[in-house]
Every structure is written in structure tokens, then in C-alpha cells.
Amino acid sequence: MRAAALIASLLLVPRIGLAQSAAPAHWKVAADGPVTMINSETVSDTTLWFVSMAPGWHVTMGPGGLLYDQRYFAEGRFNAEVEFFIFPNAPNAEIGLFLGGKDLETTGKAYTAFVIRRDGSAAVMKYADGRESPVMPWTTTPAIVPPERSGRNIVRVAMDSAGVHFDVNGTRIRTWLRTELALDGAFGFRVGKRVNLHATRLDVTHRLAPVPPGRE
């Protein structure tokens, strides 16, 4: 019920006039193509609308791209989690979390994205040297909550001594050895083309206590 109420309230919020023609303070946009920030969610293939909107942020993408707070990065042993809502009118494009971001404002940007789509599929994609390659190709999973059932989803990447785990709404999708994925770097949202998205939170936690010998 709370999820349904949040979606209803977001759909009723007047959009025009809320935004400024810039990302929220400290945030950067690394789009897949040329983009201009605008003051309306009525976007084109070359425009984007991105604002802080309690709780969280709201974005309407033109081109797909990355959204991230430039003040933060994650390294070592950490867990990352994002919570967002897929709206009923959303296209079947990727939504989720990117990690290991490097050189994001250059043509040599690199990152790994853990993403889902409204059709009930999940994937892990690596981007480097101008090319995208699948770490895990699009795979159907019943763990994804579709727009018809609130659309609320939590994507989590957790690290422990066993490896790197990709979870969706508490369901384990796949695990890799920690040496298989380079995830140190910038982190944030990966959002596909023309997606209208509300994200309620983005959390990264680090383990600061010493790791017992033999459990690194």
C-alpha cells in the first residue's frame, strides 16, 4: 500500500517549474550521447530532466546514461544498493546500479552495470573502450516486481569472502569471484533511454573492521 501511495503522489506532482537546467548539486550526468538539461520532463533524444524530489531523485532520460554524485566512490569490500520504482508507462530499458566507474567524463569511460528491465529480466554489462559486453546476458527472473505490482525494486551488489553477489529484491541472481569484477570507483544509477524513473535511495556501506585472517 505504501508503494502504491508513493507512486500515486509522484504521478500527481506538478513537473513544470520544479527543475533547474542542471543536475542536483554535486551530481554529474554521463550520457550515452549529446544531452542538454531542461526544465521539463517532456524530453527528446538529446535532452534530460533530473531533479531532487523527496524521497530521493526523479529523472526522465532522453539518451541513456549514468547519474552519480562526484564526491563519492567505493573501493575494497563494500555493499551497494539502490531502490527505485518502475512506472506503468516505462519503456523496456535498463534501470539499476553502476559500479567501478572510471574516466566517466571522457570517451574512455569504464564501468560495470547491474540492471533490470520491466519485462522481468536482469543483466550485468561491462562498458570499456567504447564497447559494451555482457558479463551476464539478459536473464528472466521472477524476483523483479513489474509496474502492475507497484514496480518497487531493490538492486543490491554485496561482497563477502565468497565473492560478489547480484541480488534483486532479496533473491540471489548470480555470484562471481571478487577477482572477476573490477568494481572500485565511482558509483550511481544506470538508466536507459527514455526511462521515467523515481529512485528513493542509493546506499553504499564499507566494512571498516579488520577482516579475520584467512577470510579476505
Please name the amino acid found at residue 72.
Y
Compute the average pLDDT of residues 131-145.
97
CATH topology for the 2-205 domain: Jelly Rolls (2.60.120)
- Report the predicted TM-score, pTM, of the whole model to 2 decimal places: 0.87
pLDDT in tens, 16-57: 334 346 889 999 999 999 999 998 889 999 999 999 999 999
Closest by CA position to 101, among listed 117, 92, 114: 114
Q: What does the block give as the cell for 68?
A: 552519480
Cα–Cα distance, 19 to 38 (Å, whole number): 8
pLDDT in tens, 62-100: 999 999 999 999 998 899 999 999 998 889 999 999 999
Please name the residue that has the C-alpha cell 570499456. 128
Whole-number Cα distances in Å, 195 to 43, 54, 63, 70, 76: 10, 19, 9, 22, 31
Compute the average pLDDT of residues 149-166.
93
Cα–Cα distance, 111 to 99 (Å, whole number): 6
The answer to whether residue 7 scores a pLDDT higher than 80 is no
| Residue 99 · residue 208 · CB < 8 Å | no
